[in-house]
Structures are given as C-alpha cells and as structure tokens.
Amino acid sequence: MNRLILLQSDTSNPEENLGIEESILNSSSPLIGILRLWQNDPCVVIGKFQNEEYEVNPSYVREKGIPVIRRFTGGGTVYQDLENLNITFCKGRDDFIFSSYFIEEGRGITEIILRALRDFVKEHIEVDKRNAIFVNRKKVAGSSIAITKDRFFYHASLLVNSNLTELKRVIKWEESYPDGTGYFVKSNRSEVANLSNFSKDISIERIKESIIKKFEKELDLKAEKSSSIWG
C-alpha cells in the first residue's frame, strides 16, 4: 500500500451509502488503501445471510418508515442513525498489515479502532472473538469483512450516542428462528451501550479525528482527502 485515501462523502442516505460501499469493494487499485467514516439516517442493515422476517419487527419499521437494507457482508443486524459512526477500510487482498489470515487481519483493524477509543474511554475495553468491541462487557461496535480476488474490505458500526430505545423496538431480541427455516445466520444478541455512557467528552467528530490519526500511524501514511475512490 503506497497511499491512503480518506474518502469524503456527505450523504446520509442509507441506500446511497451502501452503494458507495460496493463501489469501494469493487475498486481495482490494490496499492491504495481507502478509509471512510460516514453516517446514515435511521435504518436497519441486515447481514448478507440473514432472514429479515426473523431479525426485524416489520410492523414497527413500516409504521415509522424505517428502511431495511441488506448489505453484501455477513454478520448480524444493526440499527443505525446519525449518532452511529460507520467505519470502512479497504485495501489490496494480499497487502497484509497484521496477518495473511483474514480473520486475524480484521481483528487487527478493529484493534486500531479500539486504540482510537482509548483516547476517550478509560473503562475496560476489549475486542471479543467475534471481532466486536465491548466496554465493561457491553457491546459498542460490531464489524464484518468481505474478500474478492483483489480486495480486502472491512466495515464496522460504532454506537456513539444512538437512540437505543429505538434500536430495541426495531430489532427482534428474542430467539425467533423457528425450525425448518433453512440456513440463515442469526444475530448474536448482546447488551449494548453508547460510548457516550463512558465519556462526557466524546463526539463523532472527535472520534473521527482519532481514528484517522491511528490509521495514519499504523500504516505510516498520511491520509489524502478525496471525493473519489481512486484519489
């Protein structure tokens, strides 16, 4: 990797944002790393291998007009709003940073984010075996990855000051997958919390600044701002 592009986009439209994510995954610049920090209007995003019927409360999302969108990566269902920060990082598939084993590579990237959060959170913070971030055993972030023949793609969803009451109304929290429904990936429900619960000084903008600095330090590259995935 010889360049790190900080991709600028000001849309908060969930469908547009997921479209940008696919464009990043399909980009063909293996020597360029792409870092993107972005937010969505209220929506539900479900994993590639999940069944919407068993993850989301359909009557509630219809009543509130909350869109449900399927992403192209695995993992569980998440509720997002403008107080949730999405973090995307994409690089060449074989441009290894931490490990040639992709799960470990993803963990290493999550730990970059964890180090950024330590600038604000003094409580016990850790990455679990599912590559999620927990503060005092409460989940504040989840992540997922995708691999193509040329690219390694990672994104994470970080609860900063989201509406957790709405989150729990939108998403089904009980074990609701009946027998005989075929192969679907169930979300792994954990008690969640906002980062704002653990730090009075935290904000999305301050977290963005810290994440950018930590990626620059780890990659030994200065992030170049651009509105194009090709810089």
Using alpha carbons only, give the angle 21, 145, 33 rounded to the nearest 5 degrees: 60
**3-226: in CATH 3.30.930.10:** yes
CB 66 within 8 A of CB 44: yes
Average pLDDT of the residues of the chain: 90
Confidence label for 188 from pLDDT (cuts 50, 70 and 90): low
Q: Can you list the alpha helix ranges (DSSP code H) found in the chain?
A: 14-25, 58-64, 102-117, 164-170, 204-219
Q: CA torsion angle for 68, 170, 85, 49 (degrees, to 10)?
A: -50
CB 143 within 8 A of CB 154: yes
Confidence label for 228 from pLDDT (cuts 50, 70 and 90): confident
CB 177 within 8 A of CB 170: no
Confidence label for 186 from pLDDT (cuts 50, 70 and 90): low
What's the pLDDT score for residue 88? Answer: 97
What's the pLDDT score for residue 70? Answer: 92
> Where do the domains of the chain lie?
3-226
DSSP 163-193: -HHHHHHHB--S----TTS-S-PPP----B-
Least confident of 64-73, 157-166, 178-187: 178-187
Residue 178 has pLDDT above 70, yes or no: no
Q: Tokens 């709405």 map to which residue?
A: 166
Least confident of 94-98, 169-173, 191-195, 203-207: 169-173
CB 22 within 8 A of CB 46: no
How does pLDDT run across 93-138, given as a tens digit for each residue?
Answer: 999 999 999 999 999 999 999 999 999 999 999 999 989 999 999 9
